[in-house]
Chains A and B, each alone.
Chain A
Amino acid sequence: MSKKSVPIKAGTAKVALRTIRTGVTGLDAVLGGGLPELSFNLIVGGPGGGKTTLAMAIMFANVTRARPGLYITLLGEPALKMLRYQQQFEFFDTTRVGSDVHLLNLGEDVLAGNLQGVLDRITEEVERLRPGVVVIDSFRTLMPPAAKEEGPGGAFDHFVHQLAHRLTTWQITSFLIAEYAEKEVGNPLFTVADGVLWLFQAVDRNSVVRKLQVLKMRGMSSMPGLHTVRITGQGLRVFPRMTERPNVSRAKSNHRLSTGVPGLDKLMGGGIPAGNSLVLAGPTGSGKTTFATQFVAEGLRQGEKCVIAVFEEHPDEYLERANKFGVDFTAAVRQGDLRVIYLRPLDLSVDEALEEISESSRQIGATRVVIDSTSGLEMALAPTFREDFRESLYRLVSALTGSGVTVFLTVEVTEGLGRLQFTNDRVSFLSDIIILQRYVEIEGRLGKVLAVIKIRGSAHTADFLAYEITGSGVLLRGLLKSYDDILGGAPTRQTRRQQAYPGLTEREVQVLESLIRLGAVPVKTIADSTGESSDDLAPILNRLIELDYVGRKRALFEPLARPNVS
């Protein structure tokens, strides 16, 4: 009699991959939503990268008295020292030690060189405590010097295989902490592990920057690339590297924001279109910070929330000075209407800076954000990150303006005897509006002028505007209509002839005066009279027509205005 096999119904449901939170700000996002529960992970890197702190933070975030954490120390940092320093972090709750978090020191077992003994001790403790999270620190010390010569199948490999197998069957999320160099990435342990988190400490000149890379994380769509890590009193914080422009659509609005500088809005077609970015570029001492401060003061007056990121001045000094502009900035900070961000200079990463500014803006619902200055921001970055500055600033401005925030950036420009140049022309491309400031010498006096270079999609003045920085802010002095070569820094007063035709160049005046003399004539006649070629005359005539100095009837051009020279 043959046995009838009972078919087993094949299930179609896939196993749900549950995740646990890491308790480290930013890391869950980098991992693609957290760490897979019951995974077997490596935390690797050189000394000082934050491996122990990361493991401790994950442990404290995930353990309970019923499913505690077991932190096993082998050789390396003495347990007492670890407890001494780890308790400095906010996440380290000493009241949970001994109940939720247990430590086990196996240093002596390791020194005895008995790998099986170590495995047995780990097994005993796991079976006794039933932990949810196990950390073994530092795993590398288990590897005997001769392990490399043993080759595959040696005692150490056998130990790793056994440990990985047991950690999986125990239903535990586990972490092995080890010091490995990048060239050792081919180690079999990296293949066995479900996840590998690599912590780097990059040194560039005098700056040290910590970075994290998710080398692998089975089952998760982790974020590629190197992510900046900062260790503070709170523990680790990861700043996810945004690899793409934020998926945002610019909020449509016809609303314009006042600059806070009396008279300037009118020259800008009514102010700054909401959700635009403005670059104010000027040399040192030209009043960039004053303009920016008035922009914020106006926002506060209108009941808006504002964020200022300062890099060249301590916030207290900034606030003290800003209080002179008729708005109590200090009170605004206290009330949560204003956030002044002062980022620690010289070893800042781009991601940190962006995250700090974006987060502050989100938190208070800011409509105005000032970065004073982008040159200072670039200087504050660790040298490693300066290469990424342009791309990063673009991401920041895109993200902010995309959510309707108006961004005001100041840029330092160098000014010599010759033409004005943006020192940081790498940032001018990202703005909707550019206002240029410069020093000029007029009749033996040093003056300041500004020009609105562009406002995307909006009319604005084409005139140069003289201004002064006074104790109470920016004072516009009027348009400089009767000067040429203002951009050259040494303007010359226009001749009476030019003044008769405001806005025209010398050549345009010459053509116009020829037409006044000749009457309605074709291009060839004008060319003969002025000596200009027909090709050169075309744009001149077009401009004269545009400005209503000249009219056109078929092929004939005729003057529409007469000079009003006294």
Chain B
Amino acid sequence: MRSVGGRSAGLVPASPTSAEAARRLWVGERVEMAPPEAVIEAIEQVCMRLRLGLGRWIGFEGYDALLERVVEEAVVENPELRGLRWLPDGENKVARMVPAHEVPAVIRGFVSVVALLIDRLSQVIGDDLATRLVEQAWNASPSDGSLDEIRGAGDVQKVRSH
């Protein structure tokens, strides 16, 4: 669909609470030591779950707009995120092109994106609710939510980076 992060924006860092929540969620994925492909696959799965979970609440367009904004902000301090595709656009093969030595930086950048996502949501609906909603979306299992039945799921599964 579209890539984001093409222009620089001033970064207002995520609050320590949001950063800690994002870090904790990522640690729960237990893929730090996994091969680069598995790490990127995990990121893609989380992106899909976040979009499905949060999109149900605030609308997919609302979610996409929010994500676009936080990625733009995160790219300023995480240039390795530049050029990654975060939103569904039909591409699904390029993720494997991320070189192995860049994966740790991509992980840092991704955690930064999630922290900003929580932070920006917190500014609207408060820390508790924002963290709760992101956690619920992150931890949602595709098997318990009939995700395939939800419109947009097919698109989200195509999220890849290149």
Residue numbers of A with Cβ under 8 A of B are 78-81, 83-84, 87, 94-95, 97-98, 103-105, 107-109, 117, 121, 124, 128
B61 with A108: CB separation less than 8 A:
yes
Give which listed residue, B55, B124, B125, B149, contacts A105 with CB less than 8 A.
B55
Using Cβ atoms and an 8 Å threshold, which residues of chain A touch B58?
Answer: 78-80, 103, 105
A103 with B57: CB separation less than 8 A:
yes
Using Cβ atoms and an 8 Å threshold, which residues of chain A touch B145?
Answer: 128
B residues 114-128 in Cβ contact with A at 8 Å: 121, 124-126, 128
A87 with B129: CB separation less than 8 A:
yes
Smallest CB separation, A333 vs chain B (Å): 35
B59 with A79: CB separation less than 8 A:
yes
Cβ of B25 < 8 Å from any Cβ of A? no
Report the bound CA distance from A109 to B121 in whole Å.
Answer: 23
Smallest CB separation, A386 vs chain B (Å): 41
Smallest CB separation, B122 vs chain A (Å): 11
B146 with A80: CB separation less than 8 A:
no
Cβ of B56 < 8 Å from any Cβ of A? yes
Using Cβ atoms and an 8 Å threshold, which residues of chain B touch A128?
Answer: 145-146
Using Cβ atoms and an 8 Å threshold, which residues of chain B touch A80?
Answer: 58, 62, 121, 124-125
9 pairs of A and B residues whose beta carbons are closest in the complex: A105-B59, A98-B136, A83-B125, A103-B57, A94-B129, A79-B58, A94-B128, A107-B59, A80-B124
Cβ of B150 < 8 Å from any Cβ of A? yes
Report the bound CA distance from A95 to B129 in whole Å.
Answer: 8
Report the bound CA distance from A98 to B125 in whole Å.
Answer: 14
Using Cβ atoms and an 8 Å threshold, which residues of chain B touch A117?
Answer: 151
CB-CB contacts of B46-59 with A at 8 A, as 1s and 0s?
A: 00000000011111
Q: How large is the interface on B (under 10, 10 to 19, 20 to 34, 35 or more residues)?
A: 20 to 34
Using Cβ atoms and an 8 Å threshold, which residues of chain B touch A83?
Answer: 57, 124-125, 129
Report the bound CA distance from A98 to B54 in whole Å.
Answer: 11
Known: A80-B58, A98-B136, A104-B57. Contact between A109 and B151, CB under 8 A?
Answer: yes
Give which listed residue, A95, A97, A108, A121, contacts B59 with CB less than 8 A.
A108
Using Cβ atoms and an 8 Å threshold, which residues of chain A touch B57?
Answer: 79, 83, 103-105
Instruction: Identify the closest chain B residue to A96 (Cβ).
Output: B132
Residue numbers of B with Cβ under 8 A of A are 55-62, 121, 124-126, 128-129, 132-133, 136, 145-146, 149-151
Using Cβ atoms and an 8 Å threshold, which residues of chain B touch A124?
Answer: 146, 149-150
Smallest CB separation, A34 vs chain B (Å): 29
Instruction: Identify the closest chain B residue to A85 (Cβ).
Output: B125
Using Cβ atoms and an 8 Å threshold, which residues of chain A touch B128?
Answer: 94-95
B56 with A103: CB separation less than 8 A:
yes
Report the bound CA distance from A192 to B124 in whole Å.
Answer: 38
B125 with A87: CB separation less than 8 A:
yes
Instruction: Identify the closest chain A residue to B123 (Cβ).
Output: A84
Instruction: Identify the closest chain B residue to A86 (Cβ).
Output: B125
Instruction: Identify the closest chain A residue to B152 (Cβ).
Output: A108
Report the bound CA distance from A238 to B104 in whole Å.
Answer: 58
Smallest CB separation, B119 vs chain A (Å): 14
Give which listed residue, A78, A97, A105, A121, contacts B129 with CB less than 8 A.
A97
Instruction: Identify the closest chain A residue to B146 (Cβ).
Output: A128
Using Cβ atoms and an 8 Å threshold, which residues of chain A touch B56?
Answer: 103-105
* 10 further contact pairs, Cβ within 8 A, besides A87-B125, A97-B132: A79-B59, A79-B62, A83-B125, A87-B126, A97-B129, A98-B133, A104-B56, A107-B59, A121-B150, A128-B145
B126 with A94: CB separation less than 8 A:
yes
A84 with B124: CB separation less than 8 A:
yes
A78 with B132: CB separation less than 8 A:
no
Using Cβ atoms and an 8 Å threshold, which residues of chain B touch A87?
Answer: 125-126, 129
Known: A80-B124, A121-B151, A124-B146. Contact between A108 and B60, CB under 8 A?
Answer: yes
Q: What would 22 A/B residue contacts be, using CB atoms closer than 8 Å?
A: A78-B59, A79-B62, A80-B121, A80-B125, A81-B124, A83-B57, A83-B124, A87-B126, A94-B128, A97-B129, A97-B133, A98-B132, A103-B57, A104-B56, A105-B56, A105-B57, A105-B59, A105-B62, A107-B59, A108-B61, A121-B151, A128-B146
Report the bound CA distance from A455 to B120 in whole Å.
Answer: 69
Smallest CB separation, B132 vs chain A (Å): 6
Smallest CB separation, B155 vs chain A (Å): 12
Smallest CB separation, A129 vs chain B (Å): 10
Report the bound CA distance from A531 to B133 in whole Å.
Answer: 99
Instruction: Identify the closest chain B residue to A112 (Cβ).
Output: B151
Using Cβ atoms and an 8 Å threshold, which residues of chain B touch A121?
Answer: 150-151
Using Cβ atoms and an 8 Å threshold, which residues of chain B touch A104?
Answer: 56-57
Report the bound CA distance from A121 to B152 in whole Å.
Answer: 12
Smallest CB separation, A131 vs chain B (Å): 14
Report the bound CA distance from A108 to B63 in whole Å.
Answer: 12
B150 with A84: CB separation less than 8 A:
no
Give which listed residue, A84, A95, A108, contacts B125 with CB less than 8 A.
A84
Smallest CB separation, A307 vs chain B (Å): 38
Report the bound CA distance from A81 to B58 in whole Å.
Answer: 9
Instruction: Identify the closest chain A residue to B140 (Cβ).
Output: A98
Using Cβ atoms and an 8 Å threshold, which residues of chain B touch A107?
Answer: 59, 61-62
Report the bound CA distance from A103 to B56 in whole Å.
Answer: 7
Using Cβ atoms and an 8 Å threshold, which residues of chain A touch B124?
Answer: 80-81, 83-84
Smallest CB separation, A20 vs chain B (Å): 25
